[in-house]
Amino acid sequence: MTLRQRFSKDPLKVVRQLDAFPKVSVECQQSSRIGGTLSIISRALIIYLIFNETMYYMDSKLVFRFKPDTDMDTKLKIHIDITVATPCSNIGADILDSTNQNVFSFGLLEEQDTWWELDLEQRTYFDYTQHLNAYLREEYHSLNSLIFKDMLHKGSHKTAYNLPERTIKPNKPFDACRVHGSLTLNKVAGNFHITGGKSIHFASGHIHIQNFFDEVPLNFSHRINRFSFGDSTSGIVHPLEGDEKILTDSSTQAQYFIEVVPTDIYSFMSHVKTYQYSVKENIRPINHSKGAHGMPGLYFKYDVSALKVIVRQDHENFMHFLIRLSSVIAGIIVSVGYLNSLIQLITDFFISKVSPQTYQQLHNSNLNPIIVDEKPQSNWQQPQQPNNLISNANQMVDTNNFNFAVKQ
């Protein structure tokens, strides 16, 4: 049969002819009383397990590794929002890095007079932020993969850090200063500080003039609403955010030693560059008579790590995924077949014990062969008798003029 003749037939017949898997004829098939139910259950279970395996394949694990940070030409952004319990006229905020670059080249921080006590809405928001960040800092090692996956799935969208606007303004003078803003720094070590007195800037640095404010009590109790590096991204935990320190002694120095770690996060569709940091704090009183020298205030000393963290999604090999799917499907089909045989064996054993006569009838019905009733074709003829065959042979010989006689 040519290829043209094959495809000129019924398409369904062509498909049946091309089927490479042999089919068991209906006469050789044996139905069971529970086979249909098990077939439905097995199909549903196969669909469920295939869905779970697919979701497991899509839900990749994260791989963390370190590499040297050679990108030293980039700038480092810092975002600050700190409230100090001292009026803005009595304190000054500055930043200086290891290059002694002029601080005005980094940008300007805004100083806004405010009140230390928060209203109800602000206090609720800040307490929630404080509780959430404290929990994340404590459980970070067990939640870091979940946090990074959430960021990869939802994208690196920016998050809101600002306190709600104050709705009730106290009827008293300002007793606090809010220092907030964003600066673009060199990617080197630096020192951001808030101390008493205003600063005077020089080409190689700056000094704070505090002589005129010696009689003014300074309170360096502070509330950190935002302190982060790099672009704002969800999923990154900033340890200092939500921190609140009450310092009763005016001659107290609070130091925060910050290690900034560049972090690159790669997904299938995006690449996010951000920063994480760890912090250590030291709060000590200033007492010159006892040798504890220094200047009261808040000091945030940061340094950039020489290593960066690379976070990547790691998927299982696709061929392994297909093999697992095949194993799931084949395993369920084989297991259901064994279960069907076991149930049928138990059922037959139970029936044979309870009702032997019924069991014998069922057994005999399964042993009886299938009889196919076929009618004879219309052109079928009854076999001729031997005498008729001999006479016909003689007639054929006579017609051909052969002198050959068949003895009857």
For 132-186, the pLDDT digits (tens) are 888 877 777 667 666 676 666 555 445 555 778 888 888 888 889 999 988 888 8
Q: Quick one: tokens of 156?
A: 């690196």
Cα 49 → chain centroid: 20
Q: Is 311 in contact with 266 (CB distance < 8 Å)? A: yes
Confidence of residue 19 (pLDDT cuts 50, 70, 90): low
Higher pLDDT, 98 or 275: 275
Query: Looking at 82-86, 199-203, 376-380, 386-390, which range is the least confident one?
Result: 376-380
pTM above 0.85, yes or no: no
Confidence of residue 280 (pLDDT cuts 50, 70, 90): very high
pLDDT of 260 reads 93
Q: Provide mean pLDDT across the span 374-383.
A: 49
Q: What residues contact 269, with CB distance under 8 A and at least 6 apart?
A: none
Query: Is the model's pLDDT at 264 over the cut of 50?
Result: yes
- Average pLDDT over the chain, rounded to an integer: 76
Residue 297 CB: number of other CB atoms within 10 A?
25
3-class DSSP string for the chain: CCHHHHHCCCHHHHHHHHCCCCCCCHHHCCCCCCHHHHHHHHHHHHHHHHHHHHHHHHCCEEEEEEEECCCCCCEEEEEEEEEECCCHHHEEEEEEECCCCCHHHCCCCEEEEECCCCCHHHHHHHHHHHHHHHHHHHCHHHHHHHHHHHHHHHCCCCCCCCCCCCCCCCCCCCCEEEEEEEEEEECCCEEEEEEECEEEEECCEEEEECHHHCCCCCCCCEEEEEEEECCCCCCCCCCCCCEEECCCCCCEEEEEEEEEEEEEEECCCCEEEEEEEEEEEEEEECEHHHCECCCCEEEEEEEECCEEEEEEEECCCHHHHHHHHHHHHHHHHHHHHHHHHHHHHHHHHHHHHHCHHHHHHHHHHHHCCCCCCCCCCCCCCCCCCHHHHHHHHHHHHHHCCCCCCCCC
pLDDT of 9 reads 56
Higher pLDDT, 211 or 265: 265
Dihedral, CA of residue 234, residue 236, residue 238 and residue 243, to nearest 10: 50
| Residues 238, 225: Cα–Cα separation, whole Å | 11
Higher pLDDT, 222 or 400: 222
User: Smallest Cα–Cα separation from 227: which of 272, 281, 264, 150?
Assistant: 281
pLDDT of 304 reads 92
Task: Collapse the DSSP code of 43 into the 3-class scheme (helix H, G, I; strand E, B; otherwise coil) and give the result.
Answer: helix
Confidence of residue 129 (pLDDT cuts 50, 70, 90): confident
pLDDT tens digits, 319-353: 888 888 888 888 888 888 888 888 878 877 777 77
pLDDT of 215 reads 58
Higher pLDDT, 403 or 43: 43
Q: Provide mean pLDDT across the span 237-258.
A: 88
Query: Looking at 95-109, 124-138, 175-189, 295-309, which range is the least confident one?
Result: 95-109
pLDDT of 403 reads 47
Query: Is the model's pLDDT at 368 over the cut of 90?
Result: no
pLDDT of 365 reads 62
pLDDT of 405 reads 45
pLDDT of 178 reads 92
pLDDT of 402 reads 46
pLDDT of 393 reads 53
Query: Looking at 191-205, 278-292, 320-334, 339-353, which range is the least confident one?
Result: 191-205
Percent of the chain residues topping a pLDDT of 90: 11
pLDDT of 30 reads 60
pLDDT of 408 reads 43
pLDDT tens digits, 383-403: 555 555 556 555 555 554 444
Q: Are β-strands 271-285 and 252-266 bridged in parallel, bridged antiparallel, or unpaired?
A: antiparallel
Query: Is the model's pLDDT at 120 over the cut of 70?
Result: yes
Residue type, 222: H
